[in-house]
Structure 1
Amino acid sequence: MMNKRHKNVAIKPLRGLLPLAVLIAASLTLFSQPSTAASAHVKSSVNRSETPDTGAEKLLLPYVFSTDSMGVNIGLGAMVSGYYQEQMTVGGTVYGGDVSYGVGGGVWNYKLPKTERFYLSLVGFMGYYPQQKAYASSGDGYTPPGTPLPGSNDSSTEQFLQADGSSNWWDIKLEYALPIGATKDKGRVTYELTGGLLTSEPTGGKVWNPLESGATVAVLKQFNRYESYEFDDDELDGAVHAIELGLLYNNTDFSVNPSFGSKQYLSISHDAGWFESEQSWTFVEFEASKYFSFGQSDYASQRILALNFWTGYSPSWELEYDEQGGRKVNNNAPYSEGASLGGFYRMRGFESNRFHDKASIYATAEYRYTLKYNPIEDVSWLKFLRLDWFQLVGFVEAGRVGESYTADELLTDMKYDYGVSLRALTAGIVVRLDVATSDESTNAWVMVDHPF
């Protein structure tokens, strides 16, 4: 029997929903730093030679979207970028349907007064969704012997919770641009573009040396998640109140759309069991990306091979056994925050957070082909999109979660998927439509920014 309140169940932040909603509302709007898997970003501004001295970007537009679970929703989004500070964005959205509704907003990359290197972001979202799904257990029962843990590598697609409920989240993030490399003299870098291609000096990629090349950013984030499941005879809910400390070294030529160079991100997250968060957990992750440029061709302005590796481990994760040999996980990071695979960043051919465990490993390769031909370049009524190029992408992915961080565990029986993507650079921001297929499902994802 499920207990009614504050169990350590699925905490799905739905972080993709806010940028997606504002993206639709603003017809592929300008976010100064779109959400990515890593919490730290290079602080930058983009100047297009096609629109010099245009001042702040302002958009206010209605939108409509429909999903199988949420039905038809109507909303309104608004944003202003570069008005008070060149790198800062303020945005928000509100929408509603028959059952679902959501409201959110935020401030991204506000440079603190009397500082040159400290940037503050505050963003949050509150929503109610029909038929939320979580590949997790209720938190108070033991999984019988011989049955895989929900969300584990060998688990069934039928092992999930599903019900109407709320999903709310809010983040407070402070970033510091270190006074070395490309940000030695100033905390923000400026990119000059023509046709969406970098014409100013690359900020990194020629040598790997944080003191001379690239941008290094430290981040301290406090993040909060709340999610509820309203079953016919019961209600489950859970919360996260955690902090993350991370360090990014981005040694690429153009952080928004890298064509050569590399970047690395290392972070540790911890929840001490504050407030409604009853579990105490720790999670460590490392990510590395490498980019190779093959130059132009007859039809492409860029041909890029992009490689990415990510791994994570939760040292606090432990199994508890009952007298019959049943298992229950304690002190584990919620599946959306820890060693998790599936969704619009990693293993896109699987549902969001389909797999999660104590440890994880993931690798992907993308071939990014930036077209010279832009079919809307001369369409006057679409000029407001600031759309510079379209990009065709093919990708493959492999990943695995496991109960131990060993080669025998993580390099056998891996999951695979593959897919294609259509991407565009609009007002200096990459937006993408990814379609990926696996042996479990075929998914389409609309999101801001490259996945890495």
Structure 2
Amino acid sequence: MKPFSQPNLAKAQSEEATSQAKVVKRLMLATAALLGSVVYVHADEAELVIHASHDTEQAQETVIIPIVGAMESTGLLAGSVVAVTGLGQAQAQAVGFGAYSVNDSYISYLGYFNYALSARWTFDISALQADFTDTEMYLGEQPDEPIDVPSDASYLQRDWQMTFRYLLNQTPAESVNSMTGLQAQPVTRVLEVEPFYKSREFRSDKVANVAGETYGISVTLDQDARDYTPSPSRGYHSYAKVLRDWGGSERASYTRWEVQHSHYFDLGSNRINQQQTLSLTGYLSDTPTWQNDKAHRQPDWFAQSVLGGPDRMRGYGDNYMHDRSALFYGAELRMIPKWQPQSRVPVLSRYDFPWWQTAVFAELGNVSDKLDFSALHNNMKWSAGVGIRVFIENIIARADFGFSKDDSIFRFTVNQPF
């Protein structure tokens, strides 16, 4: 590396001062009052998606967002989000989040994303630990031994994963289709290899503790032809994943696979919305190593084929339905209004906040103790709701209110559901 000349050193000092000024300018207090009869902050086990920035500036940049909130299971909650772009490499980003509440609940998360190992390999790593000391516990339908757990159970969650991505190929966009007048989207195919660890534990003085653990490796083949990843209006996204846990003395060995295909249809614009998209998806999961007559050969509830949570059957609690196989259909109408006032709001204008979006969704799903399409389609449960998404600092923050015949839930999480 060449040493700085005096003019370059002065320039570097100026850029550093500018960067520090941005940090100070972007320091804000975001107050979120999460009120309702049932309120969840979901510690999302899926990895955070950091979308590519269109900003050509290569300087390292730090954003700090203190947060104060309140919810039923924690009381007053305070913490902050810290995101550092350009750490190690220009396109890499580190994100950390921590929060603590008056009843000793806490959430902690740390991730490092988009680090290039070579021209084709990239690397992510993330870890999450959360402990909610006053939460409801539901492990799904237990026909042989119903579990009635009081609402003061303590819930501890730990997740970590490393993701190695290999770019298989990228097909360039084709010429404009004479039939549709639209240009075909480039198709990107990626192979992902992900070592993972997940554990869950419910603790209560009134019933026996319930705990589970799984760790192993998953392999995913991903095909992406979306025109704009954060909020596509055309194209599709598909993946096929196989997960393997080799088991141990206190946990079952199992193999589970899942596939999902999502398609996006551009509905144009109107006088209110600049973008309207109909998003459709289908999902299927199965555990071929499952044995109905041997419970010890079955993975713990959260590692089975599950429905209920922030992405599938949002009107139900996390892992509300779990069994050998799961089938899910989802439809979502997403709308980006023309009214985007955030750039004129004194505090919000200091953030990279290009758009916000509304959504209406409807879902169908079911689980079964065998891979049988007739059984999976029989007496399917439904869920519906509305949501808001904001694209801020290259991250999609999402709030959804989902309801069903059994429950209603308001969630804050990240990423589009599909």
Shorter-chain TM range is: 0.7 to 0.9
What CA distance in whole angstroms lies between the structure 2 residues aligned with 1:181 and 1:38?
A: 27
1:251 pairs with one of 199, 202, 225: 225
1:180 pairs with one of 161, 170, 177: 170
Aligned residues of 2:226 and 2:235 also touching (Cα < 8 A): yes
Task: Identify if the C-alpha distance between structure 1 residues 149 and 349 changes in structure 2 by more than 3 Å, giving closer, same or farther.
Answer: farther
Task: Identify if the C-alpha distance between structure 1 residues 40 and 423 changes in structure 2 by more than 3 Å, giving closer, same or farther.
Answer: closer
Q: Alignment length, in residue pairs?
A: 371
Task: Identify if the C-alpha distance between structure 1 residues 426 and 78 changes in structure 2 by more than 3 Å, giving closer, same or farther.
Answer: closer
Q: TM-score, normalised by structure 1?
A: 0.74
Name the counterpart of 1:17: none
Aligned residues of 1:240 and 1:277 also touching (Cα < 8 A): no
2:80 pairs with one of 76, 82, 98: 76
Secondary structure at the aligned position of 1:377 is classed as: helix
Task: Identify if the C-alpha distance between structure 1 residues 36 and 207 changes in structure 2 by more than 3 Å, giving closer, same or farther.
Answer: farther
Aligned residues of 1:26 and 1:61 also touching (Cα < 8 A): yes
Secondary structure at the aligned position of 2:354 is classed as: strand
1:346 pairs with one of 312, 323, 335: 312
Identify which range, 361-370 or 100-109, moves more after superposition. Answer: 100-109
What CA distance in whole angstroms lies between the structure 1 residues aligned with 2:268 and 2:124?
A: 36
Name the counterpart of 1:262: 236
Task: Identify if the C-alpha distance between structure 1 residues 333 and 124 changes in structure 2 by more than 3 Å, giving closer, same or farther.
Answer: same
Secondary structure at the aligned position of 1:383 is classed as: helix
Task: Identify if the C-alpha distance between structure 1 residues 235 and 449 changes in structure 2 by more than 3 Å, giving closer, same or farther.
Answer: closer
Name the counterpart of 1:169: 159
Name the counterpart of 2:70: 66
How far off its partner does 1:82 sit? 2.8
Q: TM-score, normalised by structure 2?
A: 0.80
How far off its partner does 1:158 sit? 4.8
Aligned residues of 1:44 and 1:87 also touching (Cα < 8 A): no
Q: Which amino acid aligns with 2:232?
A: P
What CA distance in whole angstroms lies between the structure 1 residues aligned with 2:163 and 2:152?
A: 31
What CA distance in whole angstroms lies between the structure 2 residues aligned with 1:277 and 1:172?
A: 24
Aligned residues of 2:137 and 2:202 also touching (Cα < 8 A): no
Per-residue CA distance 1:402-423 (angstroms, 9 max, x = gap): 1112122011100001111112
Aligned residues of 2:47 and 2:126 also touching (Cα < 8 A): no
1:46 pairs with one of 48, 53, 66: 53
Per-residue CA distance 1:216-273 (angstroms, 9 max, x = gap): 1111111112233333375443321121001100011112211101111001001001
What CA distance in whole angstroms lies between the structure 1 residues aligned with 2:51 and 2:352?
A: 18
Name the counterpart of 1:215: 188
What CA distance in whole angstroms lies between the structure 2 residues aligned with 1:161 and 1:358?
A: 27
Higher helix content, 1 or 2: 2
What CA distance in whole angstroms lies between the structure 2 residues aligned with 1:87 and 1:236?
A: 41
How far off its partner does 1:81 sit? 1.6
Same amino acid, percent of matched pairs:
23
Q: Which amino acid aligns with 1:47?
A: H
1:99 pairs with one of 93, 98, 104: 104
Alignment of 1:5-404 (within 5 A): 45-47=52-54, 53=57, 55-97=59-101, 98-112=103-117, 115-136=118-139, 148=143, 158=148, 163-182=153-172, 206-207=183-184, 213-232=186-205, 235-274=209-248, 278-320=251-293, 329-404=295-370
What CA distance in whole angstroms lies between the structure 1 residues aligned with 2:157 and 2:46?
A: 21
How far off its partner does 1:377 sit? 2.5
Task: Identify if the C-alpha distance between structure 1 residues 90 and 428 changes in structure 2 by more than 3 Å, giving closer, same or farther.
Answer: closer
How far off its partner does 1:340 sit? 0.4
Aligned residues of 1:349 and 1:437 also touching (Cα < 8 A): yes
Aligned residues of 2:212 and 2:300 also touching (Cα < 8 A): no
Task: Identify if the C-alpha distance between structure 1 residues 182 and 71 changes in structure 2 by more than 3 Å, giving closer, same or farther.
Answer: farther
How far off its partner does 1:429 sit? 3.2
What CA distance in whole angstroms lies between the structure 1 residues aligned with 2:301 and 2:245?
A: 14
Name the counterpart of 1:202: none
What CA distance in whole angstroms lies between the structure 2 residues aligned with 1:170 and 1:214?
A: 29
Aligned residues of 2:203 and 2:210 also touching (Cα < 8 A): yes
How far off its partner does 1:162 sit? 7.0
Q: Which amino acid aligns with 1:436?
A: G
Name the counterpart of 1:18: none
How far off its partner does 1:346 sit? 0.4
What CA distance in whole angstroms lies between the structure 1 residues aligned with 2:74 and 2:401?
A: 20
Q: Which amino acid aligns with 1:135?
A: Y
What CA distance in whole angstroms lies between the structure 2 residues aligned with 1:379 and 1:44?
A: 24
How far off its partner does 1:157 sit? 8.9
Aligned residues of 2:58 and 2:86 also touching (Cα < 8 A): no
How far off its partner does 1:62 sit? 2.3
- Unmatched segments (≥5 aa) in structure 1: 1-23, 29-34, 138-142, 151-155, 184-204, 321-327
Aligned residues of 1:420 and 1:436 also touching (Cα < 8 A): yes
Q: Per chain length, whose mean CA-contact separation is higher, i.e. which structure has more relative contact order (CA < 8 Å, sep 6+)?
A: 1
What CA distance in whole angstroms lies between the structure 1 residues aligned with 2:299 and 2:361?
A: 29
What CA distance in whole angstroms lies between the structure 1 residues aligned with 2:147 and 2:203?
A: 21
